[in-house]
Structure 1
Amino acid sequence: MDGLWRDRQIDLIVFITREEFVLPEIKKALITACLKPENRKRLREALFPAEVIFCDSHAPNAKEKIAESVKSVDVCILNGDLDEEILAGENLKWIHCCHAGLDRSARPEVFSRGIILTSSSGRSAPALAEHVLMFMLSLTYDLPMLLRAQARHQWTSTSEYASKTALHGKTIGVIGLGKTGREVAKLARQFDMTILGWRRSSAPVEYVDEIYAAEEGGDLNALLARCDYVVLCIELNDKTFHMMCAEQFLAMKKTAFLINMGRGKLIDESALVHALQAGELAGAGLDTFETEPLPADSMLWNMPNVIITPHSTPALPDREERMLQYVYQNIHAYREGGKFINRLTEKNIFTLACRDL
């Protein structure tokens, strides 16, 4: 009798375990990402047997169609950031934003409701790293000065220019070692640079010589003091807001260059202007700004040692397919109870962005 009871206990445990781990199925999905016909087809197949609603976010009446559709979907794959219309969906279980930098999407409400939030961060990492390299080479070889001289038909073979030194063998600090930061480190290795990295943990990263770990007492200013180039590839959140301000600029070498490929609010822009005017930095390459578009009266426009790009990088030829790879992996994770790629948590919240919404 005892043996029979034990068998029944085992059967009961197995039954309860199976019930607890019933994996969710995707029943209905809303897609606002703009996709090629062949990629639409492939995504529909990946989501099968779910009902799939495609709605180009730029199409006429898109706002109304999205508002109506989101009422009944459990999954959204979005072209941009989520907003109040999307969060009105009461059945939402998973939202994927098909880009990087979700400081406007990582809202407390998302996590309090238990909604899974993921991104396609990394889809353009190689191109962004090339953008960084463009800034580094242009600043090192003083391309702005050369172009101004060319426009004046002026030969600039001077002792001052001849005294400049190349990238080779210098030190770069990569702030943020996600996919873009790792691609930057990979390119920097081709110039035999010493590569320092800043991230949350001290876990080793390929191509990076030394890591300063934020959550293990790493000293950011000590890293900055060693660098000839400081490259911001880190996300914007409550801990990284204005992480580069007057104190950090004073810690840097006067011959160093600052490059920002992250978000504008990583930098205290007024402090940066002062540092550049005071000669505390040699120059800056900036793709993102605290206010975008950069206001016409910003002092950054006229600084001879600043290169400005409009928060835009030439796309990789297969960017759309790379973007969707994250979606496919996360569809599998959703159905199989696996680990989501680029899943955000409360650590990613940027409170000021939430207040502005």
Structure 2
Amino acid sequence: MARFLTNRNFLATHGERYRALCAHGGYDAEPITLPDDPTVRLDPAELTEIEIACCTDDFEADPSFTRRFLGSALRAPNLRWLQLPNAGIDHPVFGQLLAQGVTLTTASGVTAEPIAQTAIGGLLALARGFPRWEEARRRHQWLPHPSGQLPRDLRGQTMVIVGVGAIGNQIGRLAQALGLHVIGVRHRARTLADHVDEMHPPSALAALLPRADWLVLACPLTDRTRGLVGAAALALLPVGAYLINVARGQIIDEAALVAALQSGRLSGAYLDVFAVEPLPEDSPLWELPQVIISPHDSAAASGNAARIAELFLRNLRHWLQHEPLENAVAAPG
């Protein structure tokens, strides 16, 4: 008997559609979920029967469940395909699964809209001075902006987005609606579907940074992007620029970022991701008043699980018909 490893939420909401698709395609893989007791593993016989797997629960939300689910996938010797609930593939287990010949499909694009909305929320909060107002509220102070320190108009400012995929494009769309001039940085050339005013290759980043009122990181973590934004890159930004990171924490040299914020070279930052997560209690980032922090939660939205399920069910149709899968990760080499 073949098995389908999944999570309980998927079975409760989409189990009937899954079974109907399998029946139509002549495929029989009985759903199986992890035991309720977190100390209990699936037995070896069950693991041997698992051929496909899908999780619609956010891997970032429950690290314990994530370790158990991915551990089971890694120990399933006949696993052929795993649908992930997240876009990033920098977790070491994913490389191991690819090396074992497992097909991985990501949820790229599924959370692009909520992440973009959160990023723009951070931008608006910083641009309009919400951190200052919030600090005044805590102190019960009535503190309007002084006439000589009014917020700059957003219209006409420039945003540089590093990584113009699904997330970067959604951020660009919203930024353009606010009147910003949007510059994208990625390897592929600009297309009509891209919400940017200019597109440049990564090799041009150093020349673009002096133009950036807002530097937005929305790129994957790779060997090329790790440590991309360090002291040298931050020094190229105009004095008073802002930084937004909804990509991965390791893309930034956090010590250099703290120094730039403390010196006033950067006016502020919205950070959703960090080099070490959870962010250590002794990190100086917690104490900087011009920094907005979210706990790697920018993608949170009630509709994500349903969107991931729909993606999996579309891919299941493709898989049963031996067609290319959406968001398939290229095998190494």
- TM tier relative to shorter chain: 0.7 to 0.9
* One-letter amino acid matched to 2:108: S
Q: Which residue of 18, 22, 29 maps to 2:4?
A: 29
Q: Secondary structure at the match of 1:70?
A: helix
CA RMSD of aligned residues (A): 2.4
Alignment of 1:166-245 (within 5 A): 166-204=153-191, 205-214=193-202, 218-245=203-230
- Identity among equivalent positions (%) equals 29
The answer to whether the 8 Å contact 2:2/2:49 transfers is no
Cα offset, 1:115, TM superposition: 1.8
How many pairs does the alignment contain? Answer: 318
Rate the CA distance shift 1:105–1:31 in 2: closer, same or farther, 3 A: farther
The answer to whether the 8 Å contact 2:227/2:252 transfers is yes
The answer to whether the 8 Å contact 1:129/1:181 transfers is yes
Rate the CA distance shift 1:66–1:340 in 2: closer, same or farther, 3 A: farther
The answer to whether the 8 Å contact 1:33/1:77 transfers is no
Cα offset, 1:68, TM superposition: 4.8
* Residue 337 (structure 1) aligned with residue 326 (structure 2): no
CA distance in 1, matches of 2:43, 2:282: 38
CA distance in 1, matches of 2:210, 2:41: 53
Note the alpha carbon deviations across 1:56-85, whole angstroms, 9 max, x for none.
57x225751276532222212134456443
Q: Secondary structure at the match of 1:74?
A: strand
Alignment of 1:266-277 (within 5 A): 266-277=251-262
Alignment of 1:69-218 (within 5 A): 69-78=46-55, 79=57, 80=59, 83-104=70-91, 107-157=94-144, 158-162=146-150, 164-204=151-191, 205-214=193-202, 218=203
- Gap regions ≥5 residues in structure 2: 60-65
Rate the CA distance shift 1:239–1:161 in 2: closer, same or farther, 3 A: same
* Residue 322 (structure 1) aligned with residue 307 (structure 2): yes
CA distance in 2, matches of 1:307, 1:166: 20
The answer to whether the 8 Å contact 1:95/1:118 transfers is yes
The answer to whether the 8 Å contact 1:139/1:284 transfers is yes
Q: Secondary structure at the match of 1:259?
A: strand
Query: Which residue does 1:311 correspond to in 2?
Result: 296
* One-letter amino acid matched to 1:227: A
Cα offset, 1:107, TM superposition: 4.0
Rate the CA distance shift 1:152–1:108 in 2: closer, same or farther, 3 A: closer
* One-letter amino acid matched to 1:298: S
Query: Which residue does 1:282 correspond to in 2?
Result: 267
The answer to whether the 8 Å contact 1:31/1:76 transfers is yes
* Residue 252 (structure 1) aligned with residue 240 (structure 2): no
Q: Secondary structure at the match of 1:64?
A: coil
Q: Which residue of 10, 14, 22 maps to 1:47?
A: 22
Q: Secondary structure at the match of 2:195?
A: coil
Cα offset, 1:86, TM superposition: 1.8
The range that moved more, 76-85 or 121-130, is 76-85
The answer to whether the 8 Å contact 1:106/1:346 transfers is no
The answer to whether the 8 Å contact 1:34/1:56 transfers is no
CA distance in 1, matches of 2:210, 2:40: 49
Query: Which residue does 1:352 correspond to in 2?
Result: none
CA distance in 2, matches of 1:297, 1:334: 48
CA distance in 1, matches of 2:121, 2:91: 28
The range that moved more, 30-39 or 186-195, is 30-39
The answer to whether the 8 Å contact 1:171/1:226 transfers is yes
CA distance in 2, matches of 1:242, 1:116: 29
- Gap regions ≥5 residues in structure 1: 1-25, 350-357
The answer to whether the 8 Å contact 1:119/1:326 transfers is no
Cα offset, 1:27, TM superposition: 4.6
CA distance in 2, matches of 1:237, 1:121: 16
The range that moved more, 298-307 or 317-326, is 317-326
Note the alpha carbon deviations across 1:83-137, whole angstroms, 9 max, x for none.
4432222212111112222210564433333321111122221111110111101
Rate the CA distance shift 1:337–1:303 in 2: closer, same or farther, 3 A: same
CA distance in 2, matches of 1:109, 1:38: 30
The range that moved more, 84-93 or 175-184, is 84-93
The answer to whether the 8 Å contact 2:116/2:170 transfers is yes
